[in-house]
A and B are shown apart, each in its own frame.
Chain A
Amino acid sequence: QTVVTQEPSFSVSPGGTVTLTCGLSSGSVSTRYYPSWYQQTPGQAPRMLIYGTNIRSSGVPDRFSGSILGNKAALTITGAQADDECDYYCVLYVGGGIYVFGTGTKVTVL
C-alpha cells in the first residue's frame, strides 16, 4: 500500500513564504507521478491549485507554485495571505490507473 506523506501542519506569517512537501513512503517523487495540489477550506469542496508538478490551474494566483524539491513534490506559497489559511492536499499518480492522496497539511497564517 502506497502512503503519501505531508507535514501535518505549518505556520506562516502574513507575507511570508512556506513550502509544503509531498513524499512517498518508499521511493522518490518525480514528475512522472504527475503531482497535483488542492486547497480546501472548511465545509467546501477542494479546489485544484497545481497539476503536472508545476502548472497552475486557471485563476490560481501566482503566489502558489509547484516543484520537485529533492525527492518530494513541493507547493510553495510566496507572500502568504490570511485566506491561504486552510488545508492543502497533494495527489500522486502511482501508475496502473491509481491515484493516492497525501495525508494533508493544515496551514495557519499568523
Chain B
Amino acid sequence: QVQLQESGPGLAKPSETLSLTCTVSGGSIRSYYWNWIRQAPGKGLEWIGYIYYSGTTSYNPSLKSRATISIDTSKNQFSLNLRSVTSEDTAVYYCTATTLGVDAFDFWGQGTMVTVSS
C-alpha cells in the first residue's frame, strides 16, 4: 500500500515561491503517476498537475505558468514549486498517487496547510 507524506514550510511570502516535497513509501515510484492537488479554505479541490518517473509532466492550464513538478527517484520523492504566490494560493496541499490504468487519485497524503502572508 502506497503511503505519501507532504513536507515543507507552512508559510510563504507573497511574490515568493512555495516549495513542497512528497515522500513516497510502500510502493515503487516507477509504478504510479504522482500528483499535487490543493484545497483553499472552505473551497473545493483543484488538481495542480502530475509527474511520471520518466519526467513526463502535465499541469492545470490555469497554473501551468507558475507550477513546476519534479521528481527524485533516488529519494522516492517528488516536489512542487509554485512561483509568484499570492493569498489566493493559501490552501491545503495534497500529494496523491495515480495507479497506472486507474486514471484516478487512489492514494492520498494527509495534506499540508500553506498560508501565503507577509
Contacts and interface: CB of A to CB of B under 8 A. Distances in A.
B102 A98 contact: no
Contact of B44 (A36, A57, A96, A101): A101
Contacts of B62: 1
Give the interface centre of A38, A40, A93, A97 by most chain B CB atoms within 10 Å: A97
A27 B43 CA distance: 25
A47 interface: yes
B111 A51 contact: no
A51 B104 contact: yes
Contacts of A38: 45, 105
B94 to A, nearest CB: 6
B47 A101 contact: yes
B42 to A, nearest CB: 11
A45 B103 contact: no
Contacts of B37: 101
A77 interface: no
A110 interface: no
Interface in A75-110: 89, 91, 93, 96-104
A48 interface: yes
Contacts of B103: 34, 36, 51-52, 93
Interface of A is mostly: strand
Contacts, number: 58
Contact of A45 (B35, B44, B106, B111): B111
A34 B104 contact: yes
B51 to A, nearest CB: 11
A49 B62 CA distance: 27
B61 A45 contact: no
Contacts of A93: 103
A99 B103 CA distance: 9
A16 interface: no
Given A51-B102, A89-B44, A93-B103, 15 more contacts: A1-B61, A1-B62, A38-B105, A40-B45, A45-B108, A45-B111, A48-B108, A51-B104, A51-B106, A57-B106, A89-B45, A98-B47, A98-B61, A99-B35, A101-B44
